[in-house]
Structure 1
């Protein structure tokens, strides 16, 4: 059920992702007994892609770590495993193994012995039933969850353009689209996940984690614009967005466009 993403795109966005993630949530993770006991920490990274979350998080957590990198794309899995950091925050070793498995195939058995389950930029591709099932699995197994950079549906471009609000709305509707027999949550994903974890008996903490992009990230802005506008145009072809995209890309390439893209991080653990 995970989307298809190129390594080039995932690596291009990695610095912006790292800058946006909520570092204060790491203190909640480190406060757990298993992260202070000196034993091996096992982290299962769902839909790991090229492994950017592991590269960000592993050096911030203490103790020996074993990352189970889960994705359905073998090429991305190979890249993620070969580019894991070698050392944790305290110099302990970090190792990795791969699991070629779709997120929809996750069961409670996969979380046996897991200290933390993570994902990045993934929850918006879930349905409400899938989010509820994931929350139930995490809480039933006693596994805390850190889900980062879920699309929140909030985009601001500076300077503004008359079509901005319509493009934002069209993109958000595309994120909520019906595909096959599934209705995706899109920007409602974090709210649905928070409700599901709370209903299952977990405490939930969320943080706003927007990308704040400017002239130093013009290549990322251009590639993001192309994908963002393409999705909006697919949802509402009557908007005829070719001219809008050309104007926005030209401004970005000239270093004259700033973009804020809303995301949210969520941390949940059974109290």
Structure 2
């Protein structure tokens, strides 16, 4: 792996426990009930990375499953294959990988699949791309379980898990959210608007839509918070500086203050996300 690929895999591994703790089990149960008549569940995982979504969802679906794992990073796909062979996420799985850039794909591979799923993807895509996905899902009568779309709402927590905020937090959050709307390779990115746009687009294409909150809750002093928090804050700082370079000193001072308190076990984090289940209507 290159240094960039190693960083990507490390970040995905860091966030996996927070993702798994946050996701909506209720939507997975509703999906399991809706697809219970399929002898084999045929699932496409878009932007699958190294298999975070697979490892959470596969054990929650019964029966035989056939997964098509789609990503543009061949190193992550190789990592996924090796780990899945060594430690299968669930019995009765067939796993195929496909190296594909979603920006150039016509999504024809959704044909003859029951479900498309993705995790932490839709803040990176444009509304036009999302509309193409909804159209393809409707054409092939394919359900969708789309997890962990960021809402743009995050805050620090005190040791009693009460929300706290100050003007610098709000300023950095605003700059980060603006940065998230730049083109990430799939058109003008939705950024935090994804959580609002996703249900509307699927409802417009005649899907029954259900959404549930899936916020990260990282308690002050918790081991996961101490691992995940520093790179998360660094990413917010870097994006905010890139967005508002003239305020770099203010942002750096904010980062030093907040990251110091987090590492000292004085602060936790809540990071807003939404899960969505869309099932085609008759």
TM-score normalized with structure 2 length: 0.88
CA distance, structure 1, for counterparts of residue 275 and residue 266 of structure 2: 29
| Structure 2 counterpart of 1:144 | 143
| Structure 2 counterpart of 1:17 | 19
Q: Structure 2 residue aligned with 1:209, among 209, 214, 233?
A: 214
**How far did residue 83 of structure 1 move?**
2.5
Unmatched runs of 5 consecutive residues or more in structure 2 = 158-163
Q: Structure 1 residue aligned with 2:257, among 247, 256, 264?
A: 247
1:29-69 residue CA offsets vs partner (Å, 9 max, x unmatched)? 11224x334x2211110000111110111111101111111
8 Å CA contact 1:52, 1:80 repeated in 2: no
**Change over 3 Å in CA distance of 1:87–1:47 after alignment to 2:** closer
| Structure 1 counterpart of 2:160 | none
1:251 partner SS: helix
**Change over 3 Å in CA distance of 1:148–1:179 after alignment to 2:** closer
RMSD across aligned positions (CA): 1.9
Matched, 1:261 2:271: yes
1:124 partner SS: coil
Deviates more, 1:159-168 or 1:256-265: 159-168
TM-score normalized with structure 1 length: 0.91
8 Å CA contact 2:126, 2:187 repeated in 1: yes
Q: Structure 2 residue aligned with 1:233, among 237, 241, 245?
A: 241
8 Å CA contact 2:55, 2:89 repeated in 1: no
Deviates more, 1:101-110 or 1:208-217: 101-110
8 Å CA contact 2:103, 2:185 repeated in 1: no
CA distance, structure 1, for counterparts of residue 185 and residue 102 of structure 2: 17
| Structure 2 counterpart of 1:36 | 37
**How far did residue 172 of structure 1 move?**
0.8
8 Å CA contact 2:103, 2:186 repeated in 1: no
**How far did residue 191 of structure 1 move?**
1.9
2:123 partner SS: helix
**How far did residue 180 of structure 1 move?**
7.7
| Structure 1 counterpart of 2:181 | 176
**Change over 3 Å in CA distance of 1:108–1:250 after alignment to 2:** closer
**Change over 3 Å in CA distance of 1:106–1:117 after alignment to 2:** farther
| Structure 2 counterpart of 1:200 | 205
**How far did residue 245 of structure 1 move?**
0.8
Task: Give aligned pairs, total.
Answer: 264
**Change over 3 Å in CA distance of 1:117–1:155 after alignment to 2:** same
1:123 partner SS: coil
8 Å CA contact 1:135, 1:193 repeated in 2: no
CA distance, structure 2, for counterparts of residue 65 and residue 82 of structure 1: 18
**How far did residue 82 of structure 1 move?**
2.5
